[in-house]
Structure 1
Amino acid sequence: MSALLPPVPRLVFTILEPLACIGGYLAPILDTASFASAQVPSITPTQYTSTTQILALQLGNCYGLIALIAIGVLYSTNEAKVVRNYLVACAIADIGHLWVTYEVLGYANFVDVKGWNSLAWGNVGFTFFLFVTRIAYLAGLLGKDRIAADTKKRV
C-alpha cells in the first residue's frame, strides 16, 4: 500500500512515523530514568521507583507496537479503505495523546514551545504534526491515492 499513498503521506506514515516510534521504543530501554524524568520538562524528577520504571518501559513497548502495526498495515495492504481506517484510528489516538499531555503539562508548559525538551517536541509537536497530516490526507488535501495494480490473475 505504501506505493498507493501520495508522496507526502507515504513519507510521513511509512518512514518518519515508524522511525520516530522506534526511537520512542529504544529511548526508555537505553536510559529509563532519563526518559521517565524528561516527560514533564519543567518538573524536577521525583524519586525513580519501580512503578516509574515499568511505566516508562511499557510506554516504550507501546511505541514499538505502533511502529510494527504501521509497517504491517501500510506495507501489506492494497486496500485504501484499510489504510484510511487505520489513519482515522491513529488520528483519534493523537487527540487522546495530546489531551493527556496537556492535562499533565498544564497550559503554560503545553504552549511554551521555547521551553520544550525533545520529549515535549515528540509528545506535542510531532504528534500534532502527525494529526494535521492525517486529517489533510483523509480530507484529500495531500493528493489522491494511486490506483492499485490488479494483482489477480485473469482466467
Structure 2
Amino acid sequence: MTSILPPIPRFVFTILEPLSLIAGAVAPFISPEWFVAEQIPISPLDPISANTRVVAYQLGNIYLLLAMVGVAVLYQTTEPKVVRNYVIALWIADIGHVGITFSGMDYNRLTDLPNWNPMTWGNIGATVALFLTRTAYLLGLFGQDRQVTPISKKVQ
C-alpha cells in the first residue's frame, strides 16, 4: 500500500469509504425503486419513471467512479499536496451531500432520528463522520503524512 496517510485516515479513506461507495453503487442496480424511495425516510415505494431509473443508475455509476478514483489517488500518489487537495475536494462535497439531503427533508423528518432509515443514516450520519475525519486529518490531528523515500536507480 502506497498511501502516505496516517493509520486512522488511511483505514477510513482507503478501505472503509471505498467499500461504502461500492455498496452505494450496487444498490440502485439491484432495485432502483427501493434506492429512490429510501432517499427520504418514510417514503413510499412507488413505481419510478424511466428518467428516475436512469438517474438512479447514473448515481450508482458515480459512486463506483468515486471509489475507483479514491483508490487510485490514495494508493498511488506519494505527493502530500495531491492527497490534501483530494481530501479538501471530498470535504467540500460532504457539505453539499448533507445539505442536499437536508433540503429534501422537512423539519419533522430531519429531527426524527429514531425513524431515519439506513439510507438517511448513510447520507447524513456516515457523511458527517467522514467530514469530521477529513477535518481532523486536514488539521493534522492524526499526525503527519508518512514520508515515502523514492527508490533511486543505480547508474552504471
Q: TM-score, normalised by structure 1?
A: 0.93
Q: Determine the C-alpha separation between the residues in 2 that align with 1:154 and 1:82.
A: 28
Q: Determine the C-alpha separation between the residues in 2 that align with 1:92 and 1:42.
A: 28
Q: Determine the C-alpha separation between the residues in 2 that align with 1:114 and 1:29.
A: 28
Question: Is 1:110 paired with 2:124?
Answer: no
Q: Deviations over 1:79-134 (max 9, x none)?
A: 11100000000000000011100000133322322111111011001111111100
* Matched residue, 1:153: 153
What amino acid is aligned across from residue 49 of structure 1 in structure 2?
A: S
Name the CA shift for 1:147/1:54 in 2 (closer, same or farther; >3 Å): same
Gaps of 5+ in 1: none
Q: Deviations over 1:50-101 (max 9, x none)?
A: 1221111111111011101101100110011100000000000000011100
Gaps of 5+ in 2: none
* Deviant stretches of 4+, over 4 Å: none
Q: Determine the C-alpha separation between the residues in 2 that align with 1:83 and 1:119.
A: 28
Aligned length: 155
* Matched residue, 1:35: 35
- Displacement of 1:154 in angstroms is 6.0
Q: Determine the C-alpha separation between the residues in 1 that align with 2:79 and 2:104.
A: 38
Bigger mean CA deviation after superposition, 107-116 or 95-104: 107-116
Q: TM-score, normalised by structure 2?
A: 0.92
Q: CA RMSD in A?
A: 1.5
* Matched residue, 2:119: 119
Percent of paired sites with the same residue? 46
Name the CA shift for 1:7/1:111 in 2 (closer, same or farther; >3 Å): farther
* Matched residue, 1:73: 73
